[in-house]
């Protein structure tokens, strides 16, 4: 474990991603504590440009964009993380059972997975979002997670299928391990890094999905997220009125967050796949 | 003496369907007596490892029967029956590196073996048994117990797999190429430990190997396997000195020996 | 007949990221004589494959040649520049079939493309047709079906792949062929066929000498002229094949040969003993004779303090062991 961490911190990409992500995280978590303003409070004029009082200006209702950005990033991270956790949990469960059990169980589970893959997830997302009336941030994450797991399931199934031919699996079987014990003790530990990488991908995917949904006006209620900020600026024609401060900051925040996650992911890929490291 | 322990009758296992179907194990029959050491000898692709997996219940046969101590175990599937079977029939494998889960210590691996020990002993008793079995395979318990597999040499790992066998004390041990990845200088040590298992516990051993020298050194009887079939079986000494089957003859001609030089 | 290749006091170390040195080949001197098969025997990790890559100039970091010479035709080839090596020596004077070479053939490319690449590297002006014609003739001369050239690697059996790789490595008629464990992954019948091919190459004078690296002593018994036994990065004994196999001198060689399992009458009745202990870590090898911690004839104060020099004990048979010091003591 220690060796892996040492290796990880030798990868420049990982360090860049990690430091950037830590920065964004502290901005979203510590920021609101240091600067306890209400993002919904109208504090200034409509679309007033950045000034000493409002670093990033105000929006169409005279609310402080900088405060919104802190709270919005926090919500987006929460949704992304929830979505990542849900997608990874479902994906790993289905993928590892299918891969380990094989036979008819594998065919049924992978059949379901493939059905989910063929239906564009955005359609399910939109339908689900419309159907669910009380969309809190966590519910949003849940909905996104439920539509995002199939890719993880497929990848985990492939890994499990190849892992289960190893001799230590045979030893564990003739020692009387049950299928569940086999998956938990003998297979999942070997995939830990892989699963973690899948989680990071799902995390950043979740953030982007949230932004998409929110821009369509299907975002979380009673809260501000990066996507909701974009939705507002679209709705009140911030672009046309030249109020760049209302939409450029959330876009930058969004891309920096996904960039940091992706960079960590590639960095880890280099470490865990020595073949990539050499070239 | 000479009581039959395991018998396989017309054991067959195919892979794939239609034209591409392969009969990996084709109508194989043989038996192993109590306290007997036999070798299933074959080159790669002969079906010897598949036969071993069938006997170990790691793979279901396409047809045929496996009879262990006069009981047909071909189709047992309940956990209880399987556990009872694995209490009596165990294995060590070719690759001591791959036989270990790299995330767990030697202590944990050996502790797992107690799942197959009846009247589960207390923790102190377990520790005592583990230490004794490590000592009997020539390892210092204090040195290895808390080690992870990657901190041990190949020979040490195979010895730990043997300590695991000593904890379970099965009636039949399937040894699938147990020394093919171990250096010549440590190989004899592992083989002698295996031979001692019969002396001490009257354990039957079935070697699965391509190494004719090893088969001859260790075994009472040999089963020569080629293309999924057993082509010749019998007393090891007889087969080595006077092979009958053409495949066996060719095999013995091609294996390098010390006292007779090849015509090249 | 002279020496085709002479290694003098060769040291080749691996340098780890942590800055440690693994002394895989240490003070090795050895000659390859014209017309012979020289077997290099030893267990895994004894440095025999490293020695093979040094002799064949396929040294790539983290392996470094620290000191010593490899002489061919009177020049120290280790000092030649890369370009000269590539043009004049590799493939033409010395060729190597590395361990596992048969499994490193490009699976998506036909064998003939590989042949063309090899020949074009040395004869850029040669046309594809000429190259193929040359390969075809060579395959026929060695009674291998030329249709192999049109096959993909996966269509060939292990023995066939190994033979193909060997023939391609000798297309340029190198004087010395270094074969690193060419038969270890093969069934006994394919093993013998590969050995036959090597003997055939020698007989037809396509190559002049073979250095055969293996951990299987019984194999060397059948076609080696001389055997060098390696232990922990050093050569401990070199001598004529029969002399090494039947009357080994070094305690390690003795134990190694007595642990050989072959299907021959009498084998069954004797109990074979393992060599106690494990081979040393080459980061920090034992002082004096590297075998002393495991040696049954170990003499305190001698074996652990100084390195035993090579002594000629029998005709052409040298050993590095204090048991044979002085007046054939």
Would you state the pLDDT for residue C281?
Answer: 87
pLDDT of residue C275: 86
Distances (CA, A) of B62 to B6, B10, B27, B41, C159: 19, 10, 10, 22, 31
| Sign of the C-alpha dihedral computed for residues B129, B133, B135 and B139 taken in this order | negative
**Phi/psi at C277 (5° precision):** 80, -175
Query: Mean pLDDT: which of A45-49, A123-127, C144-148 is highest?
Result: C144-148
- Structure-block tokens of residue B246: 């053409």
Question: A168: nearest CA in chain B?
Answer: B99
Option in C222, C245, C267 nearest B264 (CB): C222
Find the DSSP H helices in chain B. Answer: 48-55, 79-88, 106-112, 123-136, 141-144, 154-168, 184-201, 212-218, 236-241, 246-254
* Contact flag A175-B115 (C-beta cutoff 8 Å): yes
Residues of B in contact with A170 (CB under 8 A): 53, 56, 58, 91, 93
Token match 């059972």: residue? A97
- Residues in B closer than 8 angstroms to C262, CB to CB, are 212-213, 216, 255-258
Contact (CB<8Å) C222/B186: no
Q: What are phi and psi of C246, to 5 degrees?
A: -100, -25
**In the Cβ-directed half-sphere of A213, how many Cα atoms lie within 13 Å?**
32
Contact predicate B138/B193, CB 8 Å: yes
- Portion of chain C with pLDDT greater than 70, in percent: 98
CB atoms C274 and B240 under 8 Å: no
Give C185-214 pLDDT, tens digit per residue.
788 888 999 999 999 999 999 999 999 999
Residue B67: in which H helix or E strand, if any? strand B63-68
Three-state secondary structure along chain C? CCEEEEEEEEEEEEECCCCCEEEEEEEEEEEEECCCEEEEECCCCCCHHHHHHHHCCCCCCCEEEEEEEEEECCEEHHHCCHHHHHHHHECCCEEEECCCHHHCCCCCCCHHHHHHHHHHHHCCCCCHHHHHHHHHHHHHHCCCCHHHHHCCHHHCCHHHHHHHHHHHHCCCCCCEEEEECCCCCCCHHHHHHHHHHHHHHHHCCCCCEEEEEECCHHHHCCCCCEEEEEECCEEEEEEEHHHHHHCCCCHHHHHHHHCCCCCCCCCCCCCCCCCCCCCCCCCCCCCCCCCHHHCCCCCCCCCCCCCCCEEEEECCEEEECHHHCCCCC
Identify the contact set of chain B against chain C, taking CB-CB distances under 8 A: 43-44, 153, 155, 183-192, 210-217, 236-237, 240-241, 250-252, 254-262, 264
Q: Note the pLDDT tens digit of each residue in A101-110.
A: 988 999 999 9
Task: Give me the CATH code for the B4-97+172-254 domain, please.
Answer: 3.40.50.300
Round to the nearest angstrom and report the end-to-end CA distance of chain C. Answer: 33
Collapsed DSSP state (helix, strand, coil) of residue B24: strand
Contact A170/B58, CB-based, under 8 Å?
yes
Which residues contact residue A26 at a Cβ distance below 8 angstroms, ignoring those fewer than 6 apart? none
Do A219 and A169 form a contact (C-beta atoms < 8 A)? no
Q: C195, B264: Cβ pair inside 8 Å?
A: yes
Judged by CB atoms closer than 8 Å, whether chains meet at C218 and B257 is answered as yes
Residues of C in contact with B138 (CB under 8 A): none
Inter-chain touch B101–A174, beta carbons under 8 Å: no
Please list every residue in chain B whose beta carbon sits closer than 8 Å to the beta carbon of residue A173: 58
- Whether B101 sits inside 8 A of A173 (CB atoms) is no
Give the CA angle between residues C14, C20, C25 to the nearest 5°.
35
Q: Looking at residue C137, what is its pLDDT? A: 92
d(CA A190, CA A183): 10
Alpha carbon distance C211, C207 (integer Å): 11
Tokens of A219: 């975002």
Q: How many whole angstroms separate alpha carbon C292 and alpha carbon C283?
A: 17
Put the strands of the sheet holding B89-92 in their side by side order. Answer: B89-92, B172-176, B204-209, B37-41, B221-226, B229-235
| Structural element, H or E, at residue A66 | helix A65-101
Give which of B95, B144, B181, B188 to mutate to test C binding, by max C Cβ within 10 Å. B188
Residue C286 is encoded by which pair of tokens? 């034992």
pLDDT surpassing 60 at residue A24: yes
Residue B33 Cα distances to B55, B195, C257, angstroms: 15, 15, 33
For the stretch B113-156, pLDDT in tens is 999 998 889 999 999 999 999 999 989 999 899 998 888 888 88
Q: Do A170 and B86 touch (CB under 8 A)?
A: no
* pLDDT of C1 strictly over 80: no
Residues on chain B touching C267 (C-beta within 8 angstroms)? 213, 216-217
Contact B79 A176 (CB under 8 A): yes
Q: Where are the alpha helices (DSSP H) in B101-149?
A: 106-112, 123-136, 141-144
The confidence score (pLDDT) of residue A21 equals 94
| Stretch 158-217 of chain B: residues touching chain A, C-beta under 8 Å | 161
pLDDT at residue C329 tops 50: no
Boundaries of every domain in chain B? 4-97+172-254
pLDDT (tens digit, 9 = 90+) per residue, A177-215? 999 999 999 999 999 888 999 999 999 999 999 999 888
Among the partner residues C189, C261, C274, nearest to B213 by beta-carbon distance: C261
Return the structure tokens found at A108: 């049924």
State whether residue B209 is helix, strand or coil.
strand
Please write the tens of the pLDDT for every residue from B16-32: 888 888 999 999 999 99
Question: Would the pLDDT of A279 be above 70?
Answer: no
CB pairs under 8 A between B and C: 115
Chains contacting C with at least 3 CB pairs below 8 Å?
A: B
pLDDT band at A52 (very low <50, low <70, confident <90, very high): confident
Contact A171 B93 (CB under 8 A): yes
Half-sphere exposure of A277 (CA within 13 A, CB side): 14
Length of chain A measured in residues:
279
Q: Which of C222, C267, C268 sits opposite B261 (nearest CB)?
A: C222
Residue A1 has pLDDT above 80, yes or no: no
8 Å CB contact between C238 and C309: no
Instruction: Please report, to the nearest 10 degrees, the dihedral formed by the alpha carbons of residues C135, C140, C146, C149 taken in order.
Output: -30
Flag if B43 and C44 touch (Cβ within 8 Å).
no
Dihedral sign, CA of C187, C101, C21, C251? Answer: positive
Q: Note every long-range contact of C309-313, with CB atoms under 8 Å and residues 24 or more positions apart, other chains counting.
A: C310/C29, C313/C249
pLDDT band at residue C328 using 50, 70 and 90 as cut-offs = very low
Token pair recorded at residue A124: 């399910």
Q: Which residues does chain B have within 8 Å of residue C43's beta carbon, measured at their own beta carbons?
A: 183-185
Asked if pLDDT for residue C128 goes beyond 70, the answer is: yes
CA-CA-CA-CA torsion sign (A43, A47, A49, A55)? positive
Nearest CA to C93 out of C121, C73, C120 is that of C73
* Cα separation, A146 vs A83, whole angstroms: 8
CA-to-CA separations, A211 to A69, A223, A238, in angstroms, rounded: 13, 13, 17
- pLDDT value of residue B132: 94
**CB–CB of A168 and B100 under 8 A?**
yes
Distance CA B186, CA A77 (A): 57
Distance from CA of C94 to the nearest CA of B (A): 24
CA closest to B58 among chain A residues: A170
User: Which residues of B are less than 8 Å from C278 in CB distance?
Assistant: 153, 155, 186
Contacts of B192 in chain C (CB under 8 A): 271-274
Please state the ipTM of this predicted complex.
Answer: 0.90
- The residue of chain B with its CA nearest to that of A163 is B98
B74 touches chain A (CB under 8 A): no
What span, in angstroms and rounded, lies between the C-alpha atoms of C162 and C307? 39
Omega before C251 cis (within 30°)? Answer: no
Please report the pLDDT score of residue A256 as a whole number.
94
The closest of A140, A121, A125 to A219, measured between CA atoms, is A140
Cα–Cα dist C230/B182, whole Å: 17
Q: Among C5, C27, C55, which Cα is nearest to C310's?
A: C27
Q: What is the pTM of this model?
A: 0.85
Asked if B258's CB is within 8 angstroms of C188's CB, the reply is no
More confident residue, A124 or C97: C97
Domain residue spans of chain C: 3-108+152-324
Q: What is the pLDDT of residue C271?
A: 83
Give the other-Cβ count within 10 Å of A204's Cβ.
Answer: 21
pLDDT tens-digit profile of C64-123?
999 999 998 888 888 888 888 888 888 889 999 988 888 888 888 999 998 898 888 888
Look up tokens 């609101």; give the residue: A32
Candidates A1, A103, A169, A171: best to mutate against B (most CBs of B within 10 A) is A171
Any residues with CB less than 8 A from the CB of A137 and at least 6 apart, and which?
A75, A78, A79, A82, A220, A223, A225
What local confidence, expressed as pLDDT, does residue A275 receive?
Answer: 56
Q: Does pLDDT of A266 surpass 60?
A: yes
At C158, the pLDDT band (50, 70, 90 cuts) reads: confident
CB contact under 8 A, A176 and B82: yes
Q: How many CB atoms lie within 10 A of CB C296?
A: 10
Q: What percent of chain C has pLDDT over 90?
A: 55
How far B51 CA sits from the closest chain A CA (Å)?
Answer: 14
Q: Average of pLDDT values for C272-295?
A: 89
Q: How far is B168 from chain A (nearest CA, A)?
A: 9
Asked if CATH classification 1.10.3720.10 holds for the domain at A68-278, the reply, yes or no, is yes
Which residue matches tokens 């956790």?
Answer: A85
Task: Using CB atoms, pick whichever of B83, B91, B94 lies closest to residue A176.
Answer: B83
Instruction: Check CB contact of B112 with chain A, cutoff 8 Å.
Output: yes
Nearest of C204, C198, C4 to residue C97 by alpha carbon? C198
Mean pLDDT of C137-162: 91
pLDDT tens-digit profile of A226-252? 999 998 888 888 778 878 888 889 999
Distance in angstroms (rounded) separating the CA atoms of residues A235 and A243: 13
Q: Which regions in chain B score pLDDT beneath 70? A: 1
Mean pLDDT of chain A: 87
Residue B150 is predicted with a pLDDT of 85
Contact (CB<8Å) B101/A189: yes
The residue among A20, A46, A63, A79 whose CA lies nearest residue A226 is A79
Cβ-defined contact of B211 to C261 (cutoff 8 Å): yes
CATH code: domain C3-108+152-324 is 3.40.50.300
Using CA atoms, how far residue C325 sits from A51, B205, B209, C228, in Å, is: 93, 47, 43, 20
Closest C-alpha among C50, C35, C49, C89 to residue C180: C49
What is the chain A residue with the closest CA to B85? Answer: A174
Mark C247-273 as b/e (b = at least 16 C-beta within 10 Å): ebbbbbbbbbbebbbbbbeebbeeebe
Contact C188 B43 (CB under 8 A): yes
């Amino acid at each position: 474990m220690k060796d892996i961490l040492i290796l990880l911190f030798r990868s420049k990409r990982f360090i860049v991603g990690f430091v950037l992500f830590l920065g964004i995280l502290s901005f979203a978590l510590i920021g609101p504590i240091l600067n306890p303003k209400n993002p919904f409070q109208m504090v200034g004029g409509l679309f007033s440009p950045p000034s000493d009082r409002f670093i990033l200006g105000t929006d169409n209702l005279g609310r402080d964009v900088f405060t919104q950005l802190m709270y919005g990033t926090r919500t987006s991270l929460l949704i992304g993380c929830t979505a990542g956790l849900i997608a990874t949990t479902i994906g790993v469960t289905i993928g590892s059972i299918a891969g380990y059990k094989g036979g008819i169980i594998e065919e049924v589970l992978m059949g379901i997975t493939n059905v989910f893959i063929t239906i564009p997830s955005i359609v399910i997302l939109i339908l689900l979002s419309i159907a669910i009336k009380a969309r809190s941030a966590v519910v949003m994450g849940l909905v996104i997670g439920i539509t995002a797991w199939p890719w993880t399931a497929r990848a985990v199934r492939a890994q499990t299928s190849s892992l289960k031919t190893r001799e230590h699996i045979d030893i564990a079987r003739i020692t009387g391990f049950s299928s569940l014990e086999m998956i938990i003790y003998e297979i999942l530990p070997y995939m830990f890094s892989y699963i973690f990488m899948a989680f990071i991908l799902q995390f950043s995917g979740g953030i982007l999905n949230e932004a998409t949904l929110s821009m369509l006006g299907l975002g979380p209620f009673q809260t501000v997220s990066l996507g909701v900020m974009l939705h507002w600026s679209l709705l009140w024609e911030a672009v046309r009125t030249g109020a760049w401060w209302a939409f450029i900051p959330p876009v930058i925040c969004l891309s920096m967050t996904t960039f940091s996650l992706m960079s960590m992911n590639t960095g880890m890929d280099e470490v865990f796949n020595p073949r990539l490291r050499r070239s | 003496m000479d009581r039959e322990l395991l018998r396989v009758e017309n054991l067959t296992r195919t892979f794939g369907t239609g034209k591409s179907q392969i009969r990996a194990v084709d109508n194989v029959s043989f038996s192993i007596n109590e306290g007997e050491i036999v070798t299933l000898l074959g080159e790669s692709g002969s079906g010897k490892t598949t036969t071993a997996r069938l006997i170990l219940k790691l793979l279901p046969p396409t047809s045929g029967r496996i009879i262990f101590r006069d009981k047909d175990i071909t189709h047992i599937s309940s956990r209880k029956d399987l556990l009872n079977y694995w209490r009596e029939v165990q294995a060590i494998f070719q690759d001591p590196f791959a036989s270990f889960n790299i995330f767990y210590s030697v202590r944990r691996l050996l502790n797992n073996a107690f799942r197959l020990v009846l009247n589960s002993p207390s923790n102190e008793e377990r520790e005592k048994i583990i230490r004794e079995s490590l000592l009997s395979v020539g390892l210092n318990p204090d040195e290895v117990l808390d080690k992870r597999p990657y901190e041990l040499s190949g020979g040490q790992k195979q010895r730990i797999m043997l300590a695991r066998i000593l904890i379970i004390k099965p009636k039949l041990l399937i040894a699938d190429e147990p020394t093919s990845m171990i250096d010549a200088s440590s190989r004899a040590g592992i083989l002698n430990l295996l031979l001692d298992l019969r002396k001490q516990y009257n354990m039957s051993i079935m070697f699965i190997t391509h190494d004719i020298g090893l088969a001859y050194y260790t075994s009472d009887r040999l089963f020569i396997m080629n293309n999924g079939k057993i082509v010749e079986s019998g007393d090891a000494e007889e087969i080595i000195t006077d092979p009958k089957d053409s495949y066996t003859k060719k095999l013995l001609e091609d294996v390098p020996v010390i006292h007779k030089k090849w015509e090249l | 007949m002279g020496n085709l290749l002479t290694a003098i006091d060769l040291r080749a170390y691996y340098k780890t990221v942590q800055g440690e040195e693994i002394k895989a080949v240490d003070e090795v001197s050895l000659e390859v004589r014209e017309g012979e098969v020289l077997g290099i025997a030893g267990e895994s990790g004894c440095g025999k494959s490293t020695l093979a890559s040094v002799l064949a100039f396929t040294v790539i970091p983290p392996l470094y040649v620290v000191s010593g010479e490899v002489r061919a035709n009177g020049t120290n080839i280790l000092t030649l520049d890369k370009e000269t090596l590539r043009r004049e020596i590799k493939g033409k004077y010395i060729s190597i079939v590395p361990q596992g070479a048969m499994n490193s053939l490009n699976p998506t490319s036909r064998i003939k493309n590989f042949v063309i690449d090899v020949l074009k590297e040395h004869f850029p002006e040669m046309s594809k047709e000429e190259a193929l014609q040359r390969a075809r003739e060579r395959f026929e001369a060695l009674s291998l079906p030329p249709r192999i050239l049109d096959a993909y690697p996966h269509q060939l059996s292990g023995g066939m792949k190994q033979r193909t790789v060997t023939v391609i490595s000798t297309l340029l008629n190198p004087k010395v062929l270094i074969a690193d464990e060419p038969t270890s992954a093969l069934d006994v019948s394919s093993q013998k066929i590969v050995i036959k091919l090597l003997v055939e190459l020698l007989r037809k004078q396509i190559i002049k000498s073979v250095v055969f690296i293996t951990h299987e002593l019984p194999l060397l018994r059948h076609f080696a002229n001389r055997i060098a036994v390696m232990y922990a990065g050093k050569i401990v004994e070199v001598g004529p094949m029969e002399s090494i196999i039947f009357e080994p001198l070094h305690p390690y060689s003795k134990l190694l040969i007595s642990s050989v399992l072959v299907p021959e009458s009498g084998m069954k009745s004797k109990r074979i003993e393992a060599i106690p202990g494990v081979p040393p870590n080459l980061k920090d090898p034992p002082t004096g004779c590297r075998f002393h911690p495991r040696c049954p004839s170990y003499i305190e104060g001698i074996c652990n303090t100084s390195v035993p020099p090579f002594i000629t004990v029998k005709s052409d048979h040298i050993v590095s062991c204090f048991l044979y010091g002085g007046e054939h003591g």
